[in-house]
Amino acid sequence: MRLKSALEDFETNTLGAVRGLLSKLSYVGRLRDGNGKYNHWGLARVYGDDGAQSAIRATHRALLFEVLKKPLAMLLKDIQVSCSKEQLTESEFLASPTLCPPTLASPAARAHLKSVLSALSALVESRNDANPQGASQPPQPAQEPRPPADI
């Protein structure tokens, strides 16, 4: 007898190990093949292919709507966590095809996600333009000279 459903198992054990909301969306997107079928060997082995498909599809949908509800400022912070694990720059991460909606997402949800990712890309780009990596740091404030300790 199983103590968890496929959905609980997937969200707790698999996605629980993934840091960052956008990283979770990307991870689930990587599980989907070109035909819209999700591939997760362990989940399918324990719960059957239909149970695994249903659990991952429901999670993908929930993650999409969670992303769409978050303020851009929170998602901008999430990008740093998410892309560091992926070993990508923020711009590369946001351009990744794995940041995708579920196959059956509505056209409105697809357009909304596209606009959120576009806005995040523009924010990352403007932040990078404002803070170039090679820019010198502002000078440290001068410290007043101290008298010798033996005086």
pLDDT tens digits, one per residue of 59-81:
999 999 999 999 999 999 999 88
φ, ψ for residue 86, nearest 5 deg = -80, -10
**Could you give the 3-state DSSP secondary structure of residue 17?**
helix
Amino acid identity of residue 116, one-letter, is V
- DSSP letter assigned to residue 144: P
| Cross-strand bridge partners of residue 32 | 38
Q: What is the pLDDT of residue 16?
A: 92
pLDDT at 137 over 60: no
Q: Measuring CA to CA, how many Å separate 101 from each of 34, 45, 79, 98, 143?
A: 13, 25, 17, 9, 55
Query: In this structure, are residues 80 and 93 in contact, taking their beta carbons and an 8 Å threshold?
Result: no
How far, in Å, CA of 137 to CA of 8, rounded? 48
How far, in Å, CA of 139 to CA of 43, rounded? 55
Query: In this structure, are residues 98 and 21 in contact, taking their beta carbons and an 8 Å threshold?
Result: no
Query: In this structure, are residues 44 and 89 in contact, taking their beta carbons and an 8 Å threshold?
Result: no
φ, ψ for residue 19, nearest 5 deg = -90, 135
Rounded to two decimals, the pTM is 0.81
How far, in Å, CA of 99 to CA of 101, rounded? 7
Q: What is the pLDDT of residue 1?
A: 47
> Percentage of the chain surpassing pLDDT 70?
84
How far, in Å, CA of 71 to CA of 67, rounded? 9
Q: What is the pLDDT of residue 141?
A: 56
pLDDT per residue as tens digits for the range 9-63: 999 999 999 999 999 999 999 999 988 899 999 999 999 999 999 999 999 999 9
